[in-house]
């Protein structure tokens, strides 16, 4: 037996021992799992029977749905268990190679190992398969229950009852209301006459009186105490920022609300209320909260002058607006009161319609009045500010659309109620008012958070126009979406189902992308990106400046480290998030082909940027000339290079132009460069004397290198001068313009001292036919005299006898060639 076979046998023996030790624990685990699975089967069968019968109440269905949701959550967890272990075992089985075919034999030890691994792999896969099947069944049952509940709610919403406008139902509704009130009163009187109640009050008299006293003090003195607390808090700063004012306003709501709770507790402890009265008493704190919060909302909108497109807050109508907001709270409390009475007294639907119609009508009138006030306010704002005011008024179109829809639904409420669709009317009326209040409350909360940010950042009122305020508003809008869904009739189960589906993610190939995986990816990538930038900063500012690497090389190393770090951060983030992108290979191949054809210019620039960073023909800080542009390289990215010209303008050059085009780099490797200073002297000047002066000028400049020494070149005989050139090597070519200017100044001074003339361009004009020109002038003069003969002769102008700068034609040398042309090149 070979050594390899011995190793295999030892591994097999160890695996068998491990399995034998794990059998008892697995047996216990299997027993618990089996009991749990049997419980699930019983629940699933019961749910199927309930769904088939479809007679259970909505409360019973919601309870059953809750049980199914718990099972589904467990099965969802089980689906992902032992994933790494299964992958490891599958890799071990694959490492053994393909199983032998029919008629083929396999070594006994390999066959035993394959069988043991396959058995263990199947034992791990079976629970996952069972969990997958149970999860699918639970999810299907939950969806069926949701469908039944939604159908019932929809049917109830569009159910038509009696019209509240029918006078026949009014007396009955009044009798039912009086009967309900008498029932509550009679229960209370019966409790007061009961000896047990008297004994209870006597025994708890101190506690009841304490609760009553505290409650009354908080209700009566709560606002005053809130102002006192605000005066104390303002000692810590933030005066004038609005932070402590907002806190005081919250205390003005919270303290009276606590007082109401204490009063309700005192009444409850006394036991003077019956069953109906206790049910009503339990709703009193919620009613108090509605009244106090709506009143607080009106005060905050007016106090802070928060501009919004929902509730008008201008100076002329603030009192009416606040009154209407308070009346909205009164209507909501009255509606909940009647709904509670209907539940405890079993009031007929005909009477309920009569009670609900006046409240719905009042609510509609309030919404329409708020809409009318807001329309006048917006029109006045538009007339005052002109076009800018109209743009500002229509800036938040989403809120404007919400406002119009809410007011439209509010207008439709009384019509639906009058036709007998009471449930539909209530479903559109009261949520409309609550939505208005909630959105206005979000505006107030956003304003407070902006003031708090201004206090913390010491920006003051300017913080309200900052990016932070806009982000806070966006976050509040997202957080308000679930609340809006609940207000408009969504069930809590619907929201939890959406959240569960959101957490589950979606499948892409063999990879499931979930929010958890996405957050993990973002977090790991952000950490990797931050570490990369930290290392880049350390290299660029601390380590690399202490080396002998030039600036371009330092920039290339830092940039390359950044690209490598970002690439590694992305790989680690993908691995940590558990994303398997192997299934996307075909898609990636297709995308690469598309990129190759459609984005070839961008890819070319990207590859050219990598070449620039690696090969470094051009580095940061180099003085280059490309495509007729000259300047310094300030930054090299993966797509383009930024060049700063001598006019202090930035030119973005694609990297491919630097790789495929002709580039002149004046400072590649070093800053040594040549300067050429041309100069011309007049004819007749001693050339050797000029050479000596120019040599002295060149050697005297401190930027000129003496090795090799500067030279003076006699270029030749020009049209107007003897042409010379100073050619010198500078220690820093970046100063070439300054050096040339300094040399020109020095040359002008030395030539002036030596009496050497720097000529300018001169031309001599020869006229070949002066006789023809003179005869033409005489003919023109005679024609002019004939034309002017009838008139008196004009006096001669002494100033026009002979102008000093007018040449005499008789004194001009002529060279007539018979064709009357000028030869400007005859003599210079």
- Measured CA to CA, the distance from residue 96 to residue 84 in angstroms comes to 19
Lowest mean pLDDT among 185-194, 231-240, 247-256, 357-366: 231-240
Alpha helices in 505-643 (DSSP H): 515-538, 551-576, 585-598, 600-615
**Structure confidence at residue 441 (pLDDT):** 87
Tens digit of each residue's pLDDT (9 = 90 or more) over 65-120: 889 888 888 888 877 777 677 778 778 877 877 777 776 777 777 877 888 888 88
pLDDT at residue 591, rounded to an integer: 63
Query: What is the reported pLDDT for 749?
Result: 92
Joined together, the tokens standing for residue 158 give 């569009």
What pLDDT was estimated at residue 688? Answer: 92
Q: Which long-range contacts (CB under 8 A, 24 or more apart) does 482-491 make?
A: 483/438, 484/435, 484/438, 487/431, 487/434, 487/435, 487/438, 488/427, 488/431, 488/435, 489/153, 489/427, 489/431, 491/62, 491/149
- Domain 581-661 belongs to what architecture? Roll (2.30)
Find all residues with CB under 8 Å of 392, minimum gap 6, and list them.
Answer: 381, 385
Contact criterion met (CB below 8 Å) for 436 and 311? yes
Q: Residue 491 pLDDT more than 70?
A: yes
Q: How far apart are CA 635 and CA 397, in angstroms?
A: 43
pLDDT above 70 (res 21):
no
724 and 680 Cβ atoms separated by less than 8 Å: yes
Does residue 781 have a pLDDT over 70? Answer: no
Checking if the pLDDT of 820 tops 80, the result is no
Q: Given the structure tokens 């490797």, which residue do they identify?
A: 669
- Residue 180: pLDDT band with limits 50, 70, 90: confident
pLDDT tens for each residue of 340-353: 888 888 888 888 88
Predicted confidence at residue 732, as pLDDT, reads: 87
Give residues with Cβ within 8 angstroms of 196, minimum separation 6: 271
Cis peptide before 763 (omega within 30 of 0): no
Strand ranges (E), 264-356: none
111-158 confidence digits (pLDDT tens)? 778 888 888 877 777 778 888 888 889 889 999 998 898 898 888 888
Q: Domain ranges in the chain? A: 3-98+106-157, 167-203+273-491, 512-570, 581-661, 673-754, 764-782+805-828
- Mean local confidence (pLDDT), 728-752: 91
Per the listing, tokens 């004397």 go with 689
Residue 287 has pLDDT above 90, yes or no: yes
Q: Can you read off the two tokens belonging to residue 449?
A: 């958070």
**Is the pLDDT reported for residue 183 higher than 80?**
yes
pLDDT of 4 > 80? The answer is no
765 vs 769: CA distance, rounded Å: 13
pLDDT score recorded for residue 15: 43
Band (745; pLDDT cuts 50, 70, 90): very high
- Across the strands, what pairs with 641? 636, 653
Tell me which DSSP letter residue 672 carries.
-
Tell me the HSE value of 524 on the side-chain side, using a 13 A CA sphere: 18
Burial of 346 (0-12, 13-18, 19+ CB in 10 A): exposed
Calculate what percentage of the chain has a pLDDT beyond 90.
Answer: 13
CA angle 337, 347, 339 (to 5 degrees): 20
C-alpha distance from residue 211 to each of 217, 281, 289 (Å): 10, 15, 19
Residue 778 pLDDT level (bands cut at 50, 70, 90): confident
Q: Please, which residues have CB within 8 angstroms of residue 767's CB and are 6 or more apart in sequence?
A: 773, 812, 814, 822
**Of the CATH numbers 3.30.360.10, 3.30.300.90, 3.30.70.100, 3.60.15.10, which one belongs to the domain with range 673-754?**
3.30.70.100
CA atoms within 13 A on the CB side of 506: 1
pLDDT for 92 equals 80
Q: What is the pLDDT of residues 415-458, one digit of tens each?
A: 888 888 888 898 888 988 888 888 888 888 888 888 888 877 77
At 249 the pLDDT is 85
Look at residue 591 and give its three-state secondary structure: helix
- List pLDDT tens digits, range 584-640: 555 566 666 666 666 677 777 778 887 887 777 888 888 888 888 889 888 888 778
Does residue 517 surpass a pLDDT of 60?
yes
Q: Which of 645, 611, 609 is nearest to 627 (CA)?
A: 645
């Amino acid at each position: 037996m070979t050594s390899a076979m011995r190793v295999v046998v030892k591994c097999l023996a160890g695996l068998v021992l491990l399995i034998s030790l794990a059998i008892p624990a697995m047996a216990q685990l299997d027993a618990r799992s089996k009991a749990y699975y049997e419980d699930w089967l019983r629940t699933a069968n019961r749910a199927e029977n309930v769904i088939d019968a479809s007679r259970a109440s909505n409360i019973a269905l919601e309870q059953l749905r809750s049980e199914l949701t718990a099972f589904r959550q467990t099965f969802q967890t089980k689906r992902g268990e032992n994933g790494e272990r299964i992958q490891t075992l599958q890799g071990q089985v694959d490492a053994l190679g393909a199983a032998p075919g029919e008629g083929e034999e396999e070594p006994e030890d390999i066959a035993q190992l394959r069988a043991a691994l396959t058995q263990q792999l199947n034992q791990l896969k079976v629970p996952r398969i069972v969990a997958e099947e149970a999860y699918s069944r639970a999810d299907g049952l939950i969806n069926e229950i949701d469908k039944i509940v939604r159908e019932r709610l929809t049917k109830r919403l569009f159910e038509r009852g009696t019209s509240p406008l029918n006078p026949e139902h009014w007396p009955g509704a009044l009798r039912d209301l009086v009967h309900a009130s008498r029932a509550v009163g009679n229960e209370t009187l019966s409790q007061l006459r009961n000896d047990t109640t008297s004994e209870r009050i006597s025994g708890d008299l101190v506690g009841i009186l304490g609760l009553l006293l505290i409650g009354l003090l908080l209700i009566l003195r709560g606002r005053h105490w809130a102002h006192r607390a605000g005066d104390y808090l303002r000692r810590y700063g933030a005066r004038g920022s609005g932070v402590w004012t907002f806190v005081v306003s919250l205390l003005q709501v919270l303290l009276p609300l606590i007082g109401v709770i204490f009063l309700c507790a005192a009444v409850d402890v006394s036991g003077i209320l019956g069953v109906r009265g206790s049910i009503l008493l339990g709703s009193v704190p919620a009613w108090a909260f509605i009244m106090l919060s709506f009143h607080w909302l009106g005060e905050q909108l007016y106090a802070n002058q928060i501009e919004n497109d929902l509730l008008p807050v201008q100076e002329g109508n603030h009192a009416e607006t606040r009154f209407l907001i308070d009346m909205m709270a009164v209507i909501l409390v009255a509606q909940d009161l009647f709904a509670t009475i209907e539940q405890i007294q079993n009031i007929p639907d005909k009477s309920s319609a009569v009670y609900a119609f006046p409240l719905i009508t009042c609510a509609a009138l309030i919404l329409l009045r708020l809409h009318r006030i807001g329309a006048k306010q917006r029109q006045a704002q538009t007339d005052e500010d002109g076009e800018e005011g109209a743009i500002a008024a229509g800036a938040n179109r989403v809120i404007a659309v919400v406002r119009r829809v809410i007011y439209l639904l509010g207008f439709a409420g009384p019509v639906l109620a009058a036709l007998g669709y009471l449930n539909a009317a209530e479903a559109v009326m009261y949520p409309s008012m609550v939505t208005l209040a909630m959105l206005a409350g979000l505006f107030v909360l956003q304003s407070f958070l902006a003031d708090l940010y201004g206090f913390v950042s010491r920006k003051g009122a300017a913080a309200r126009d900052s990016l932070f305020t806009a982000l806070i508003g966006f976050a509040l809008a997202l957080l308000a979406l679930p609340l809006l869904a609940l207000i408009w009739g969504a069930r809590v189960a619907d929201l939890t189902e959406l959240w569960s589906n959101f957490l589950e993610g979606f499948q892409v190939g063999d990879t499931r992308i979930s929010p958890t995986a996405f957050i993990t990816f973002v977090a790991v990538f952000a950490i990797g990106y931050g570490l990369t930038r930290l290392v880049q900063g350390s290299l660029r500012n601390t380590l690399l400046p202490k080396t002998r690497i030039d600036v371009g090389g330092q920039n290339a190393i830092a940039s390359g480290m950044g690209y490598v770090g970002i690439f590694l951060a992305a790989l680690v983030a993908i691995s940590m998030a558990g994303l398997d992108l192997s299934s996307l290979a075909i898609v990636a191949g297709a995308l690469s082909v598309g990129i190759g054809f459609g984005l070839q210019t961008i890819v070319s620039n990207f590859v050219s940027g990598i070449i620039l960073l690696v090969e470094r023909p051009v580095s940061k800080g180099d003085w280059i000339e490309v495509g007729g542009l000259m300047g310094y390289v300030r930054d090299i990215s993966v797509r383009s290079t930024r060049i700063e010209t001598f006019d202090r303008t930035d030119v973005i050059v694609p990297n491919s132009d630097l790789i495929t085009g002709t580039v002149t780099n004046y400072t590649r490797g070093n800053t040594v460069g040549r300067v050429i200073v041309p100069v011309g002297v007049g004819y007749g000047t001693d050339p050797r004397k000029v050479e000596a002066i120019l040599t002295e000028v060149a050697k005297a400049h401190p930027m000129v290198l003496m090795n090799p020494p500067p030279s003076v070149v006699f270029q030749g005989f020009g049209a107007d001068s003897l042409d010379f050139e100073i050619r010198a090597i500078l220690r820093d070519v970046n100063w070439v313009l300054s050096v040339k200017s300094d040399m020109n100044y020095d040359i002008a001074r030395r030539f002036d001292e030596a009496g050497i003339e720097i000529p300018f361009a001169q031309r001599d004009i020869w006229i070949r036919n002066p006789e023809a020109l003179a005869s033409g002038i005489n003919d023109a003069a005679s024609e002019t005299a004939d034309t002017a003969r009838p008139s008196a002769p004009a006096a001669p102008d002494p100033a026009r006898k002979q102008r000093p700068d007018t040449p005499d034609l008789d004194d001009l040398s002529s060279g007539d060639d018979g064709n009357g042309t000028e030869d400007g090149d005859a003599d210079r």
